[in-house]
Amino acid sequence: MTDINAVVEKFKSRKALIGIVGLGYVGLPLMLRYNAIGFNVLGIDIDTFKVDKLNAGQSYIEHISAVNVAKARETGFEATTDFTRVSECDALILCVPTPLNKYREPDMSFVINTTDALKPYLRAGQVVSLESTTYPGTTEEELLPRVQEGGLVVGQDIYLVYSPEREDPGNPNFETRTIPKVIGGHTAQCLEVGVALYEQAIDQVVQVSSTKAAEMTKLLENIHRAVNIGLVNEMKIVADRMGIDIFEVVDAAATKPFGFTPYYPGPGLGGHCIPIDPFYLTWKAREYGLHTRFIELSGEVNQAMPEYVLGKLMDGLNDAGKALKGSRVLVLGIAYKKNVDDMRESPSVEIMELIEAKGGVVAYSDPHVPVFPKMREHHFELSSEALTAENLASFDAVVLATDHDKFDYALIESKAKLIVDSRGKYRTPTAHIIKA
């Protein structure tokens, strides 16, 4: 049995080595935060490209400065692909993907494979924290037996917690330090050590009674957004049929100082959380004989949005006497949200595929994504088009899918033949602008 006071003191004195497993949109900001307050941090990732870049003091995520990475390298940060070094770490924070498979069921392979890779090198006195979004019960059902496989007892020798990530890439109003951190431990001792780990780096730590409660908290946060976005997307379709601008309506409703939170419609849901997380609960609820109709309905509405945008594009071209087949269409913005380079689950990519499937010739422009990246399920050999007057005029239509601040909206409005606006950027009705 370890001395819990000694473990806690190691974090409080900032003498612990923090291990962060998975150096992406969640792991990298967390590394920078721990490094900034004086901890030595070991980043562990299976991707040699990421590890080599970070060790060279470079960044591969647009909103994370290479200057900050280089500074971290000089002050106690190192990246590695060598899992044998797990034993050096006092904390292991798992920030790995939890996508859906083709049947819209949880793909736990990253979490399970990562835990299995850590297993041989776990030792007494460590705390293992899972941050990946997942269904309630994952920490108990998948991590607990694996962590204890070598004879370590959770709560006595080693400590196990769940603390969901809450990153919002591109949001200048929040940073890792200022976003409250929810944490649940497998035992009271686990929670105590987990709090000692996180309270050094995060301004406010919110304790809950169990890892399950923490897992459910993260799902509720994202389901709340998914359901409300589904509602406003459905309202958009109704308002459009009635000749009403849904963006005007949302803005007006948002003046109510209580009982209303504004959500804005778009071309569908993107990012690693909002389109995926609701299905984690839907899948797990079946085990308890429950059918989450509300969640699934919002998912259906949101998944139908790219098709809705395609229909608006086809209507606009049709009114101009053109078919989509053979038309040149420029998609503006292929990241999932404005002002970031994150392509995960981007509805823009689905819109591009739908256009291509109908015979359209598709191109894109995105100042944050200069070359279309290699993706598991989507393949385009394209580079970002320059937004010049001449280039804009050469396309039969442009689809505004992601409203980056870097776009010259006045130039787009004056030079594009047809604009399909899925983001409500153009509020003044114009003959060549279609709201979608």
| pLDDT at site 115 | 97
Mean pLDDT across 362-376: 93
In angstroms, the CA 238 to CA 33 distance is 45
Single-letter amino acid, residue 58: Q
User: Rounded to whole angstroms, how far apart are CA atoms 369 and 62?
Assistant: 9
Q: What average pLDDT score do residues 191-212 get? A: 98
Is the domain defined by 4-208 classed in CATH 3.40.47.10?
no
Most confident of 56-65, 100-109, 182-191, 292-301: 182-191
* Residue 102 confidence (pLDDT): 78
Predicted local distance difference test score (pLDDT) of residue 136: 96
- Whether 355 has a pLDDT exceeding 80, the answer reads yes
Predicted confidence (pLDDT) at residue 272 exceeds the cutoff of 70? no
The rounded percent of the chain whose pLDDT value lies above 90 is 88
Q: What token pair was written down for 348?
A: 């823009």
Which of 89, 95, 190, 273 is labelled catalytic? 273
DSSP 158: B
| Location of each CATH 3.40.50.720 domain in the chain | 4-208, 304-435
The predicted structure's pLDDT at residue 349: 95
Is residue 252 predicted with pLDDT exceeding 90?
yes
Say how many Å lie between the first and final Cα of the chain, rounded: 61
Q: Report pLDDT for 423.
A: 97
Whether pLDDT at 408 is above 80: yes
- pLDDT band at 341, cuts 50/70/90? very high
CATH number listed for the domain at residues 304-435: 3.40.50.720
DSSP designation for 223: H
Lowest-confidence pick of 75-84, 98-107, 182-191, 289-298 = 98-107
Residue with tokens 């269904």: 135
What pLDDT is stored for residue 101 in this prediction? 81
DSSP state of 249: H
**Nearest Cα to 19, choosing from 123, 97, 109, 164?**
123
Instruction: Give dist(CA 196, CA 183) in Å, integer.
Output: 11
Specify the domain boundaries for CATH 1.10.1040.10 within the chain: 219-301
pLDDT at 302 over 90: yes
Nearest Cα residue to 392 out of 379, 411, 407: 411
Q: pLDDT tens for residues 129-166?
A: 999 999 999 999 999 999 999 999 999 999 999 999 99
Of the candidates 340, 392, 326, which has an alpha carbon nearest to the alpha carbon of residue 365?
A: 392
Residues whose CB is less than 8 angstroms from the CB of residue 41 and which lie 6 or more positions away in sequence, other chains included: 17, 18, 19, 20, 31, 34, 35, 72, 76, 77, 78
Q: Residue 260: is its pLDDT beyond 70?
A: yes
Active site residue 190: no
Q: Residue 233: its pLDDT value, please?
A: 97
- Among the residue ranges 28-42, 59-73, 268-282, 418-432, the one predicted with the least confidence is 268-282
Tokens at residue 360, please?
Answer: 């359209």
Give yes or no for residue 114 having a pLDDT over 90: yes
The answer to whether the beta carbons of residues 336 and 342 sit under 8 Å apart is yes
pLDDT reported for residue 422: 97
pLDDT reading at 238 higher than 90? yes
Arch. (CATH architecture) of 219-301:
Orthogonal Bundle (1.10)
User: Where residue 30 falls among pLDDT bands split at 50, 70, 90?
Assistant: very high
Q: Is the pLDDT of residue 374 over 90?
A: no
pLDDT band of 171, cuts 50, 70, 90? confident
Interatomic CA distance for residues 433 and 418, integer angstroms: 6
Does residue 65 have a pLDDT over 70?
yes
Pairing of strands 181-185, 159-162: antiparallel
Q: What is the residue-averaged pLDDT of the chain?
A: 95
